[in-house]
Amino acid sequence: MGAGVIQKDSGGGGRRRRRRGGRARPMSEINVTPFVDVMLVLLIIFMVAAPLMTVGVPVQLPKTAANALPGEQEEPLAITITAEGQVMIQTTEVPRDEMVNRLRAIAAERASDRVFVRADGAVSYASVVQVMGALNRAGFDNIGLVTDTGGPALDGQEN
């Protein structure tokens, strides 16, 4: 009984090894790492961009201790009163004598009667109430006042 030595040779016989230049087998696995990377980048982009999508009229809102209102499906209508007394519907300036007519046209097109009033802290109470009266006359009964959080609670306790 003798023991033999088997030599590997590159030509024929036995198993064949694939060469690098040959056809590769299809991968049966999905590499999700690039997908997760792209999704994380998109998430960060939307998190940064979302606050910038609000109405772009700069006003200095008064601070209160009130809680935030729940959100809606439809984009809320925003009425802004600037420190100079200008009234803006979304980002368009509207003369006060045309405001009720424009608001009635907007109310006819909208499903929701919710409207947010943003007024600069320097604006008089009378001016804000006049705008709220015009909103009510135009058919908007659900009016919310927009403020910044972190103001005094008026109960002697810190927020």
What does the DSSP assignment read for 8-69? --SSSSSPPPPPTTSPPPPP-S---HHHHHHHHHHHHHHHHHGGGGS------PPEE-PPPP
Q: Which residues pair with 88 in a beta bridge?
A: 80, 93
How confident is the model at residue 41, as a pLDDT? Answer: 94
Give 92's contacts (C-beta < 8 A, 6+ positions apart): none
| Per-residue pLDDT at 19 exceeds 70 | no
How confident is the model at residue 37, as a pLDDT? Answer: 93
- 60-101 pLDDT tens trace: 777 777 776 666 566 778 999 998 989 999 888 999 888 899
Give 55's contacts (C-beta < 8 A, 6+ positions apart): 78, 80, 88, 90, 91, 118
Reduced to 3 states (helix: H, G, I; strand: E, B; else coil), residue 103 is: helix
Cα dist from 29 to 23, 25, 32, 33, 36, whole Å: 18, 12, 9, 12, 15
- 109-158 pLDDT tens trace: 888 888 999 998 889 989 999 999 999 888 888 888 888 877 777 776 66
